[in-house]
Amino acid sequence: MATYAVFGDIHPSMCVRIEDAELKTIATKLALGIKPENIRIEGKVFDGSRDLDVADCVETPKGYYSVINKHGNLCLTEEEIPW
């Protein structure tokens, strides 16, 4: 299970935990051509301000994606990683 920061119109220290099985499902959906903004992330959002293992981006074979809060739903947005 990994912990990711949530961006958007939510408190900046909020995070979401995504299980490995769900990460595989997300990668499969992206490989099938589903747009990242149409992939909903179901999970409990929690305060991760004290969790030092919080990642900014979800890494998949198709690229890097940030978790965003869009109209009360958690979904993905594509990120360009500069390195």
Contacts of range 62-65, beta carbons closer than 8 Å, 24 or more positions apart:
62/27, 62/30, 62/31, 63/30, 65/30, 65/36
Sign of CA dihedral 49, 20, 73, 57: positive
With 90 as the cut, is the pLDDT of residue 79 above it?
no
pLDDT digits (tens, 9 = 90+) for 12-49: 678 888 989 999 999 999 999 999 999 998 877 787 77
Higher pLDDT, 9 or 17: 17
pTM (2 d.p.): 0.82
pLDDT of 82: 57
Parse the chain into domains and list their residue ranges.
2-79
Higher pLDDT, 37 or 11: 37
